[in-house]
């Protein structure tokens, strides 16, 4: 999978949406520390695009921008902390936190990994690629995804959900490729840096269910921003 883990259970849909909005607001606030104008701040522009795709309310989005820019309630004092480890059945996991209290986050992560194994830095990330991922959709009928990937400078592409195309880039080329794609008939929906596993682990249904429960619990933590997992299928 290698993408952000999202809670799937229908009965928890409302709570899941609330958690997603909270995570997106923190991401926007952190990006806005480098400027509140998305035209001049590529990271903020990408975070806003992701929030709009998730249907974040406009007032929530604008409040996050103002908070991050220091225009509301003081600046956003979030830090990024990355943890590595293994879910049950030795499935590799990378957890990104955005937190205003590193000690609280560390304690929560240690508890959440009791059913897995928390590892040291580098123990898992060596088997992941850190790259740019752009979700886009064709804005014209004659858009050619292969040509667009080549001309815009993407490293690879693949079909996404709902007729979307996912373009993969070098981490340093993410913004350049995102800006170029509209010239070749593609509207950019989201653009972000992600981790993708080189050797995803295959599991049976029972094992997979156990891993999914473990990941859902991690994703529900308020400080956890993204969860990347080396799980096949």
Spatial separation of the C-alpha atoms in residues 28 and 195, rounded to whole Å: 20
The CATH architecture assigned to 128-197 reads 2-Layer Sandwich (3.30)
pTM of structure: 0.83
Highest mean pLDDT among 69-73, 141-145, 223-227: 223-227
Spatial separation of the C-alpha atoms in residues 108 and 153, rounded to whole Å: 40
Q: What are phi and psi of 198, to 5 degrees?
A: -80, -35
CB atoms within 10 A of CB 158: 11
Spatial separation of the C-alpha atoms in residues 121 and 109, rounded to whole Å: 14
Q: Do domains 79-126+198-229 and 128-197 have the same CATH topology?
A: yes
What number is the average pLDDT over the span 210-225?
Answer: 94
Residue 13: band (very low, low, confident or very high) from pLDDT cuts 50, 70, 90: low
The answer to whether residue 1 scores a pLDDT higher than 80 is no
Spelled out in words, what is the top-level CATH class assigned to the domain 10-68? Answer: mainly alpha
**Boundaries of every domain in the chain:** 10-68, 79-126+198-229, 128-197
Spatial separation of the C-alpha atoms in residues 29 and 67, rounded to whole Å: 6
CB 95 within 8 A of CB 217: no
What tens digit of pLDDT does each residue of 67-124 get? 888 887 766 788 999 999 999 999 999 999 999 999 999 999 999 999 999 999 999 9
**Superfamily of domain 79-126+198-229, CATH level 4:** YebC, transcriptional regulation domain (3.30.70.980)
What tens digit of pLDDT does each residue of 21-52 get? 999 999 999 999 888 998 888 889 889 988 98
The answer to whether residue 3 scores a pLDDT higher than 80 is no
Candidate from 113-122, 156-165, 168-177 with smallest mean pLDDT: 156-165
Spatial separation of the C-alpha atoms in residues 117 and 222, rounded to whole Å: 20
């Amino acid at each position: 999978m290698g993408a952000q883990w999202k809670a799937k259970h229908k009965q928890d849909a409302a709570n899941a949406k609330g958690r997603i909005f909270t995570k997106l607001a923190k991401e926007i606030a952190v990006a806005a520390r480098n400027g509140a104008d998305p035209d001049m701040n590529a990271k903020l522009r990408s975070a806003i695009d992701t929030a709009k795709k998730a249907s974040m309310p406009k007032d929530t989005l604008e409040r996050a921008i103002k908070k991050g820019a220091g225009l509301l309630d003081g600046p956003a004092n979030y830090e990024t902390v990355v943890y590595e480890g293994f879910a049950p059945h030795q499935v590799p996991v990378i957890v990104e936190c955005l937190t205003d209290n590193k000690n609280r986050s560390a304690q929560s992560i240690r508890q959440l990994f009791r059913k897995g194994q928390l590892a040291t830095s580098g123990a898992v990330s060596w088997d992941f690629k850190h790259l740019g991922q752009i979700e886009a959709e064709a804005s014209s009928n004659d858009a050619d995804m292969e040509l667009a990937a080549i001309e815009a400078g993407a490293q690879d592409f693949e079909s996404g959900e709902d007729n979307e195309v996912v373009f993969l880039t070098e981490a340093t080329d993410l913004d350049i490729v995102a800006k170029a794609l509209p010239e070749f008939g593609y509207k950019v929906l989201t653009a972000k840096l992600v981790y993708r596993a080189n050797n995803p682990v295959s599991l049976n249904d029972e094992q997979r269910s156990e891993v999914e429960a473990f990941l859902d619990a991690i994703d529900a933590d308020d400080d956890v921003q993204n969860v990347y997992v080396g799980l096949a299928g």
